[in-house]
Amino acid sequence: QNGACKTVLAGSIAKSLLAEVQEGLKTIDRPPRLYGFLANKDPAARMYADWTAKTCKENGFDFILKEVEREDLEDEIRSANNDDDADGMIVYYPVFDSTRDRTLQWTVNMYKDVEGLSPQLISNMYQNIRFLDPPTNLKKSILPCTPLAVIKILEHLHIYNTFLDYGKRLFGRRITVINRSEVVGRPLAALLANDGAEVYSVDVTGVQHFSRGSGLRNQKHEVRDMEGWGLEQCLPISEVVISGVPGDKYKVPTNLIREGAVCINFSSEKNFNPDVKEKASIYVPAIGKVTIVILLRNLLRIVQNRPSTNAP
């Protein structure tokens, strides 16, 4: 039986974003160059690095992989900060797999940070400050890759209503995000709420509600704890369900998902059961390919944001 659900693969969304990136490349005079720092033996990190290299090569970006000892990494980052040859850099985490990794994130110059993890960029994101150069507002702040990938997917699927003004295009949408990690789930919930959505952010400790309030009266989102709430309360009222729980055990209960919901999985494992297609209107089983394109898009934006005095 052919259900009504459309399965949308990340590759097809990545392709349309790449076309936009290609247009942007025409406006600059040399290929942007990305340094990738690999200082661990994690096979997932190696795969991500290989994948970055391949995507860069296929799309006219320069990628230089720097394999370094982890004790040397901080100095390496500092020297790349001052190296005109590197337009941007990415560090493959985890390096120390402790809070020490945060020191590495803080060492990356924010004008070279394609991952959007610098303190100023993170602070801009949570405060809904979208430009680096107010009030001129020509230079957009850089957003973290995976949350931005999810947003670009929602735009592609027309969950963002372009009839509404920029910054309010999710007004009226209710979205559940299962995962509240500092790298993906919490920034994603904040970004969606800043764009006008009501977001239910779910993790092992419970549910939080992210919203700009009635009529979007607040300039940025506010967060409150939803005592006694669980998926039983969130899923039946959510038009969009985004899940990113690590491990292969976790499954979003299909019976709670709202009829016709849009379901997006960003976990490396499958968080949705195959029967999700009997409930969902759109199912996106993985997003990795979009994330890599966002990396290139961020790099391009960094080059375009550069003060003209530093231009080559």
Q: Is 302 helix (H, G, I), strand (E, B) or coil?
A: helix
Q: Is 295 in the site for ligand NAD (CB under 6 A)?
A: no
- Judged by beta carbon, residue 4 or residue 47, the one nearer ligand NAD is 47
Pair of tokens at residue 283: 């199912």
Q: Which stretch binds ligand NAD (CB under 6 A): 123-131, 132-140, 153-161, 266-274?
A: 266-274
Pair of tokens at residue 86: 């590197």
Q: Is 183 in the site for ligand NAD (CB under 6 A)?
A: yes
Give the number of other CB atoms < 10 A from CB of residue 309: 5
Q: In the complex, what is the shortest distance from the CB of residue 258 to ligand NAD, in angstroms, rounded to a whole number?
A: 18
Q: Is 271 in the site for ligand NAD (CB under 6 A)?
A: no
Residues 124-163 within binding reach of ligand NAD (CB under 6 A): 146, 149
- Judged by beta carbon, residue 31 or residue 94, the one nearer ligand NAD is 94
Q: Is 283 in the site for ligand NAD (CB under 6 A)?
A: no
Q: Is 244 in the site for ligand NAD (CB under 6 A)?
A: yes
The DSSP output letter for 14 is: H
- Judged by beta carbon, residue 234 or residue 300, the one nearer ligand NAD is 234
Q: Is 178 in the site for ligand NAD (CB under 6 A)?
A: yes
| Cis peptide upstream of residue 274 (ω within 30 degrees of 0) | no
**Phi, psi angles (nearest 5°) of residue 216:** 50, 45
Q: How far is CA 58 from CA 23, 43, 160, 211, in A?
A: 15, 22, 30, 40
Find all residues with CB under 8 Å of 12, minimum gap 6, and list them. none
Pair of tokens at residue 95: 């390096």
- Judged by beta carbon, residue 266 or residue 283, the one nearer ligand NAD is 266
Pair of tokens at residue 12: 């097809």
Residues annotated catalytic, as ranges: 145
- Judged by beta carbon, residue 132 or residue 284, the one nearer ligand NAD is 284
Q: How far apart are CA 35 and CA 48, in angstroms?
A: 13
The residue with tokens 């969950």 is 159
Q: Which one of residues 7, 79, 103, 268 is an interface residue with ligand NAD (CB under 6 A)?
A: 268
Q: Is 238 in the site for ligand NAD (CB under 6 A)?
A: no
Q: Which one of residues 90, 245, 264, 284 is an interface residue with ligand NAD (CB under 6 A)?
A: 245
For 60-110, strand residue ranges (E) read 62-67, 88-91
Q: In the complex, what is the shortest distance from the CB of residue 231 to ligand NAD, in angstroms, rounded to a whole number?
A: 8
Q: Enumerate binding residues for ligand NAD (CB under 6 A).
A: 146, 149, 178-181, 183-185, 202-204, 244-246, 250, 266-268, 287-288, 291
